[in-house]
A and B are shown apart, each in its own frame.
Chain A
Amino acid sequence: NAGVTQTPKFQVLKTGQSMTLQCAQDMNHNSMYWYRQDPGMGLRLIYYSASEGTTDKGEVPNGYNVSRLNKREFSLRLESAAPSQTSVYFCASSEPGQGGEQYFGPGTRLTVT
């Protein structure tokens, strides 16, 4: 039981390049989330998927897109990376009605030069 897995662990992009961050969970959770973590700002929600087939914007969605590929997988895409998107990205999952706990992946450290 791996929990929440994320790939890649590290990535360096040049401004304007695109990439997709992958996330998968094996806990059969309905809800999945993407956060970014920046120094002094805590974790901020980018996008979430309350259930398979639905996605919604969080606090900081600009510059990102998401795809809920199936119940297990939720990807985050940067179409044209900017230095302001340098951050650590975390994926999380939860099951509504099971106490509210969100389970986090190990993170992807992204640097945009």
Chain B
Amino acid sequence: QQQVKQSPQSLIVQKGGISIINCAYENTAFDYFPWYQQFPGKGPALLIAIRPDVSEKKEGRFTISFNKSAKQFSLHIMDSQPGDSATYFCAASIQTGANNLFFGTGTRLTVIP
């Protein structure tokens, strides 16, 4: 059973456009929601993360929007660039204990020049 559901599976965006990836979860005990970026042949790397006490977090062109009541969160990439082409994973965890991450199934983003 997938604890974090992610959509879409793939996304093609024109350079300069906005990329939006959505995730949903069921476990209300989750208190940490990171997004990881993965380039081909590499391991995932943390892009941005949010905790449920805020509804939005922005770092440069990347923004997480968080809706606690709907149990949903999303990644927005503004002014998308070809260098953003990668696979993006949302995840969730409970920060106490071992901080095990539950990952979504990933979104392959392609930004067309």
B105/A40 in contact, CB under 8 A = yes
A90 contact from B32, B44, B93, B97, Cβ within 8 A = B44
Chain A contact residues (Cβ within 8 angstroms of B): what range?
A: 20 to 34
Residues of A within 8 A of B104 (CB): 42
Give residues 24-76 of A contacting B (CB, 8 Å): 31, 33, 40-45, 48, 50, 56, 58
CA distance A106 to B38 in the complex (A): 10
B46/A102 in contact, CB under 8 A = yes
- Interface status of A79 (Cβ within 8 A of chain B): no
- Name which of B9, B44, B99, B106 has the most chain A CB atoms within 10 A of its CB: B99
Give residues 66-113 of B contacting A (CB, 8 Å): 89, 93, 95, 97-106
Residues of B within 8 A of A50 (CB): 97-98
Give residues 90-113 of A contacting B (CB, 8 Å): 90, 92, 94, 96, 99-107
Q: Which residue of B lies closest to A44 (CB)?
A: B103
Residues of A within 8 A of B98 (CB): 31, 48, 50, 56, 96
Residues of B within 8 A of A33 (CB): 100-101
B9/A100 in contact, CB under 8 A = no
B106/A42 in contact, CB under 8 A = yes
A96 contact from B2, B6, B99, B103, Cβ within 8 A = B99
Residues of A within 8 A of B11 (CB): none
B103/A43 in contact, CB under 8 A = yes
A48/B100 in contact, CB under 8 A = yes
Q: List 14 A-B contacts (CB under 8 A).
A: A41-B105, A42-B106, A43-B89, A43-B101, A45-B102, A90-B43, A100-B32, A100-B95, A102-B46, A104-B44, A105-B43, A106-B42, A107-B42, A107-B43
Binding site for B on A (CB under 8 A): 4, 31, 33, 40-45, 48, 50, 56, 58, 90, 92, 94, 96, 99-107
Q: Give me 19 other A-B pairs in contact (C-beta within 8 A), A45-B101, A103-B46 excluded.
A: A40-B9, A40-B105, A41-B105, A42-B89, A42-B104, A42-B105, A43-B44, A43-B103, A45-B100, A48-B98, A50-B97, A100-B93, A100-B95, A101-B34, A101-B46, A102-B101, A105-B43, A106-B41, A107-B43
